Structure 1
């Protein structure tokens, strides 16, 4: 669900719409279903929600509908503040080629076929689909789907949470939907949270808490707020000795992130990009709060002891194109530990589509994938116009022959690492092609010779 929201996020944020997601605490973690069908339904309903919303927000909510020892039924809700749908037309929405009226088609485009397809896909997943709406007051599309429970193996490493229980966190965001989502997430992790809607209210809350001797351990600040934005608020907090010890995390919309120098000067420890992934936020909070008991506030760079890779977000966004689900999960975990924000898609076609929506900094491209393989996808990307055609693409392949280097270069790939992926080699390749390193070196580096293994001797 979160990777699908990432694909829609650029469109939402370009319209000034807040996009948030919430997975209820009682939803089982390890479930097996049909990710392709689920992604297609979510993409259609989320895309429609953003399309028909001019201002306000879109919320994706997942809750537990029913649970048995072997399976679970989940309920997905996509809620928007858009144009709404008259009651008389709602029962016909899931028929092919139906839209609310002709003016909707002229203004927004489309034929309504997507909802009919979504209905069929939901039924194939053992669920139902429906809508609640009031004309002019937004809509909530919902559907259910059934999943099998998976046995959680030893490789499923739980995120650290001991540092979260009983901590006090202040949430500062002008959108109520974001405050609500964060409240549910923080409460589920044992955190005592307090939410305010402006910078002025945040300063008051922090100072009053300090006077009572109940200091906040951490504050989560929205980057873009009226009157006093997140960076200005961070500076005001650090100027006041009574509240300067509070750790600061900033949330920003895609394209709205402050530059690294500005973040460092404001003593913001981490900057995360919306929509925030629940596991990434929990991991980040645990690691940041675990360090608050060891001394005074440090600079952002002091959080990690060299030479270990960063444990919190470094602002670089990576796309993984890999058809094997296990390999996807391993790569996502490795990247998160290295401090990268990452999303995964299952083939080259999805990679090309994702890059058309989100300005990823680096692509990790598996070479052998169904439908569109890594070589064809790279050629398609290089043939695009604009900055996307120059995105660094690092090939991943189980083969490590000398001729693979030439094949990767011919396809337009930037670098090459062999499977199974070793973390030091992955880290080195990502550092070579990170935007900061490319800028500092005055241009793209050459493919590292050491990444190509020699041909085996006969």
Structure 2
């Protein structure tokens, strides 16, 4: 729905955007919802519609250059809808607007509580996480908010054993300052501290919209349900019992820094079971590739991220092609390749590659396109070793580079 709405706003300069939600086929298994987003934007031809819902596809290069985007959002929307027993589609007329729709089968409940930014957050269950997954945690940026020296030492030892990078705040007030100054992936928050307790600190952190998605996990010896409800109401997303149990500590951190906690809190258990990816060995330690950030982009759904990686490594000599286009004056082709690489790099969290591709795109759009050639050389020096290491790491993975491997794409 958010992807449809973002696209509608992007492509509609005037007029209106309408959201319609209808339910049908109610039975014991649930209700089939049909959600549609209609706009009065630029519209699409039949040929353009045929290209949508495929990975890294947009209507044409003019749209890509003017409005940006990678063309991957609709493909992911299609996969998610199919996994939930539904489908996607579009109805459009050029110059008049478009209606993008999807159907999903959902469970009917008497009442529902919607998550809000400063309200309760549902604690997700742990999926099947073991030592083979822990390599993904190496380099995780953790803020430990804890006043007790003994607990600090134990936590630092456990986190450091897996290569996590830990900063310490001895009270909640310091934590509220530190999270604004540094990009942490997760906060482990003690409850009882001098100066400012964990609940108050969490409420203050949640007032900053930029920190809305920062996972804050309570560390508490009090596991009574009323106490845990307080944690969730303050804006925390999970809890870890004291004294620390290493397996629970690692599993909880991994769940939230890869985005899996958000997915498990949103989707029903039967859908999450299809997303399970405990048997995937993700590439780690590859310079220029942020595996955890890539997983967060797809809500921790390992098969989706693996599909993006498989697509990314199958590109040819993109630097040679870019260089050839520039030398021969085919700037339109070079722009298309640079923009596609920028989007694909963003989806796998190869940030440096994406930044270089963006710089090339900027130069190509300027008065002297050949100024892009030195940046293409820089790109080549970075992307060639990254792709070599990725191909070596993914060499044993079955699949053909589809957005989502066949195992996930099937809805049974």
Superposition TM-score, scaled by structure 1 size: 0.30
| Structure 1 or 2: more helix by fraction | 2
| Structure 1 or 2: more strand by fraction | 1
Superposition TM-score, scaled by structure 2 size: 0.33
Indicate the structure whose relative CO is greater, using CA pairs within 8 Å and at least 6 residues apart: 2
